Amino acid sequence: MELGELIGRRRSIRLFRPWRPVEREKVQTVVEAMRLAPRLLGLDLVRIVVVYKERLSPIELGRLKTPTTTAQLDMAPVLIMPFADLSVLARGLDGSGLKALAAAGVLPRSLGWSDDYIEATVVPEVYRALADDEDRVPLYRRTEPGQTVSRRLLVTAVTAVGLAQTYGLLGAFDQGLGAQLSAINFAAAKELLGYPDDWLPSSPIFLGYPAESVGAGGQRPREPFERDFHLGRHGVPFPRDPDVTRQLAEEGMLQPAAPLPWRRAELRGVASILGLPT
Ligand SMILES: Cc1cc2nc3c(=O)[nH]c(=O)nc-3n(C[C@H](O)[C@H](O)[C@H](O)COP(=O)(O)O)c2cc1C
């Protein structure tokens, strides 16, 4: 699928076919896509736990639910749990990740990259400035006194996880799957999955075959483009060229907005097939 159409087709799928498992190779493809998302400062801090839901008992499943994540947990056959491994932030700020990128020819000498430049300039002025910022938050769940991390560094790390989630979502839709990012009860997940204290969890990707139609009732509402997107400085709307939007509509990136006229009927029909309240 072309990227524009893929972006246009992606939407949060909340109704899955519980009877249809996701092929192992499709799960792996989603995770492979997540691994290729941009990285922060040459650090590999994204961790993944793939959870096949059939291996959880009904009681365990029930404990994972939250007010915003209910029956989709019963329906989606696979959860892909992403984490930021904070221990990487704690020990990876010596520039070795960037040196490896320089050695691999990724960061070219023509742009000034060398081991000396990384050690003498990038580590103190970028890594250390980010890491030593005075605005700090606890590093770990059970933090010893003094174990804090700069809020900026943490936010940047979480951004890297967000990019991995994005790549995973697009990888899912590209393979004809449906997917959604959804909260779970992270305390229950910690007990069930046994991940280390220094892995910061984020919303899992719920993965499965959609029980809804591909369009799932239309592209979901967004605020007006010109209100949220600015040109040059705050308050100057980025002008939206109608020729461009027409072209994007033809390519499938911009699609008719929700709710399509038949959406309520679809939701009732799918609910009755799945045995959910209508
Ligand atoms: C980090 C994150 C967490 C989310 N958690 C939930 C959730 O707990 N329950 C839910 O129904 N949707 C959740 N969503 C999905 C959003 O509600 C959804 O993306 C939004 O309504 C826009 O719709 P779209 O994804 O179909 O474009 C989450 C999205 C993000 C980015």
Which pLDDT tens digit goes with each residue over 97-154?
Answer: 999 999 999 999 999 999 999 999 999 998 888 888 999 988 776 666 667 888 988 8
- Mutation to probe ligand 1, out of 64, 166, 182, 202 (largest number of atoms < 8 A from CB): 182
Say if ligand 1 is within 6 A of residue 121 CB. no
3-211 topology per CATH: NADH Oxidase (3.40.109)
Q: Where are the domains of the chain?
A: 3-211
Q: Residues 179, 172: contact at Cβ < 8 Å?
A: yes
Residue in 56, 73, 11 with CA at minimum distance from that of residue 216: 11
Give burial (CB, 10 Å; 0-12/13-18/19+) of 178: buried
Interval between CA 206 and ligand 1 midpoint (Å):
11
Average confidence (pLDDT) over 272-277: 95
Average confidence (pLDDT) over 209-236: 95
Which pLDDT tens digit goes with each residue over 11-69? 999 999 999 999 999 999 999 999 999 998 888 999 999 999 999 999 999 999 999 99
- Amino acid identity, position 51: V
Q: Residues 218, 256: contact at Cβ < 8 Å?
A: yes
Interval between CA 180 and ligand 1 midpoint (Å):
7
Give residue for tokens 């700020």.
93
Residue 179 pLDDT > 80: yes
Average confidence (pLDDT) over 91-98: 86
Say if ligand 1 is within 6 A of residue 220 CB. yes
Say if ligand 1 is within 6 A of residue 159 CB. no
